[in-house]
Amino acid sequence: MPYPFTFDLSNLSRPFLEELKRLARKLSRPEVLIKAAKSMVRKFRIDQKLGIKPSEAERVVSDLLHLYSVNERLRDSFHLSKHRVLVLPHCARKYMDNRCKALFDPSIPTYICASCSEDCLINAACSLAKALGYDVYVVPGGSCLRKLLSRGYDGVVGVACPEEVVRAESLLAELGIAGQAVPLLRNGCANTCFSLDLLKEILATP
């Protein structure tokens, strides 16, 4: 968990999330993104709604703006990709104990979803991606990303904390891989969540 604090964006208003995407289409320079993040935190009182410090809220919103900005910039390149992979965080599994029947393959490393819970986000995401021809990895952390992406992929969809997505940007540029990201709306070491609708939209990119 890269952030030293927890947050839950899942209950924030749709106007806030839509404005994030709108601004991301217009802005790109880091200093402008930071300024916009501060303005949005004040406008929507994000720190109060999330129960975190204003500086922490600004950090999350700034990272989200950066994430959506990168999605916009790489969208056309991602459209051209042919061999795609979905990388999911294991912390979004419904269960983090032995009630989860996923098998762990340490050689990759990845959890192999066993589809044991119909209402598990990871199960739903795996089913969606595989039906569209994606390879899928459910990873224990971002440190294995380089190893996964060295398997000949030219397109990747990653679900992760906004800060982790920002960190992965330089790796994708180094490897020449086009990426699209879906942010975790609730962070932490367990019980995290993301928008399945946004994931569906990105996965279905022709």
| Full strand arrangement of the beta sheet holding 178-186 | 103-105, 110-112, 135-139, 84-89, 155-160, 178-186, 193-194
Taking 70 as the pLDDT cut, the residues of the chain under it are 1
For residue 2, the model assigns a pLDDT of: 76
Distance CA 74, CA 70 (A): 6
For residue 1, the model assigns a pLDDT of: 55
Distance CA 78, CA 90 (A): 24
pTM of the model: 0.93
Encode pLDDT of 176-200 as tens digits: 999 999 999 999 889 999 999 999 9
Interstrand relation of 135-139 and 84-89 (parallel, antiparallel or unpaired): parallel
For residue 11, the model assigns a pLDDT of: 87
For residue 26, the model assigns a pLDDT of: 83
Q: What is the 3-state secondary structure (H, E, C) of 22-42?
A: HHHHHCCCHHHHHHHHHHHHH
